[in-house]
Amino acid sequence: MSRRPRVVVVGAGFGGLEAVRKLAQTDCEVLLLDARNHHLFQPLLYQVATAALSPADIAEPVRAIVRKQKNVQVLLREVTSVDLAGQAIHVGAEEVAYDWLVLAAGARTAYFGNDEWARLAPGLKTIDDAIEIRRRVLMAFEEAELEEDEEARRAKLTFVVIGGGPTGVEMAGALREIAAMSIPEDFRRVDTKTARVYLLEGGPRLLPTMSEEASRRALEQLEGLGVQVRLDTMVTEVDDGCVWVGDDSVAAANIIWAAGVEASDLTRTLGVDIDKQGRIEVEGDCSLPGYSRAFAVGDIAAQVDAATGEPVPGVAQGAIQMGAFVGEIIARELSNASPPPRRPAFRYRNKGEMATIGRARAVADVGGRTFGGVLAWLLWSVVHVAFLVGFRNKLLVMVHWAWQWLVQSRGARLITGGFAPRVADPVDLDEAARSAD
């Protein structure tokens, strides 16, 4: 008795999970592999980093997601390489054969040849990243409360976000809201409202993938919050507590990198053409050149929209659409004795782009129109809740947001890691108590 066809899906992100869903009614064995046991809703990761949400609010165990799909086996393993010619993946020393392959391994933070900056300016791609940024941000205020030296205190209350895409814009706005609205009454010796937030963007405008009107509105709203935006500003060096732009520098205790991503290292093991970001240059049907049963979707695929000729953006809706497209191809060809002579080319449907800047502040490009302010913020909120995986997560996020709206407080202000505050001149605790009185 011959075994059922095996479909191996590498990565439980948006694209990988959507491909798996499309195979639910197909007579095949699906192996879903990921190095982490959870699906992460990355568009809200910055809210974990800024203490608005907890990690469990935006993540769901992969096994729980596919629990009812009986043809799926989840393996908590990291794929180290792929043998396309031999139709096998390698998990350490183990080899796993496949009949069909879907690569959806995602992306990582890119420092463009300056990987030594990662320790000083963490990116935001994982829950671990978000928790570390949250720790650094909250510790900066604690250290400022204990700091006697005015210049050192000023540096601890300075935050620099590098990169003016959606993540950078959302981080900068959230940091300014924390300092100005969420925590001022929690401290006695330091005025958190004086905290400075810089947003540095190398290009001529923020949110370059959105309309110029959205970029203009985002800039206005950020500056209205008190964020200091610097356009056409290329970072040349990142030191411990300092960002350099040519001969100029900004002393900052917290530096956050949101300037770009690159595809998973897995793409470099395949022996196929990749672009400068490590993305696989796939065919129109998302397959790898020369391998009709191997596909790439999401952030690791350099795909072009068949309708417009434009690159498909590396966003959640692009990954979801590619995952569904590939899953349908596999399901259809597994169900038919003779596959069609020619597959359709992938067509991307842009349902809109949006970014939130803060409380009742956002921008959105939808249906050829640009929205800003409260309307865009409400639209952003509805869309993000709708795309969250799991009813529990949807409910919790809505409750958290409603509470924050009412009290302007962030409930996930937990410092983890056990690090003591670092101050140049430790404060006299008796004097601190007297000054608080």
Nearest to 222 by CA among 313, 356, 386: 356
DSSP string, 255-313: EEE-S-EEE-GGGGGS-S-B-TTS-B---TTSEETTEEEEEE-GGGB--B-TTT-PBPP
- Residue entry with tokens 């434009």: 310
CA 225 centroid distance within chain:
23
Low-confidence stretches of the chain (pLDDT beneath 70): 1-2, 337, 339, 418-437
User: Which pLDDT score is estimated for 256?
Assistant: 97
The residues, ordered by sequence, that sit 6+ positions from 29 with a Cβ below 8 Å of its Cβ are 3, 4, 5, 6, 7, 71, 73
pTM value is 0.90
Residue-wise burial string across 243-278, b where 16 or more C-beta atoms lie within 10 A, e elsewhere: bebeeeebebbbbbbbbbbbbbebbebbebebeebb
Residue length, the chain? 437
Report d(CA 224, CA 217) in Å as an integer: 10
Ranges of H-type helices in 23-79: 45-49, 62-65
> Which of 60, 143, 170, 201 is labelled catalytic?
170
Nearest to 138 by CA among 199, 83, 79, 179: 179
Residue-wise burial string across 282-320, b where 16 or more C-beta atoms lie within 10 A, e elsewhere: bbebbbbeebebbbbbbbbbbbbbeeeeeebebbbbbbb
Structural domains of the chain sorted by starting position, each given as residue range(s) with its CATH number in brackets: 6-109+261-335 (3.50.50.60), 115-259+352-380 (3.50.50.100)
User: Which pLDDT score is estimated for 221?
Assistant: 96
Which two structure tokens, joined as six digits, stand for 3? 């075994």
Would you call 170 a catalytic residue per the annotation?
Answer: yes
User: What does the DSSP 8-state code read for residue 180?
Assistant: I
User: Which pLDDT score is estimated for 402?
Assistant: 84
Nearest to 206 by CA among 232, 174, 171, 226: 232
Q: How many CA atoms lie within 13 A of 120 on its CB side?
A: 18
Report d(CA 320, CA 107) in Å as an integer: 15
The residues, ordered by sequence, that sit 6+ positions from 395 with a Cβ below 8 Å of its Cβ are none
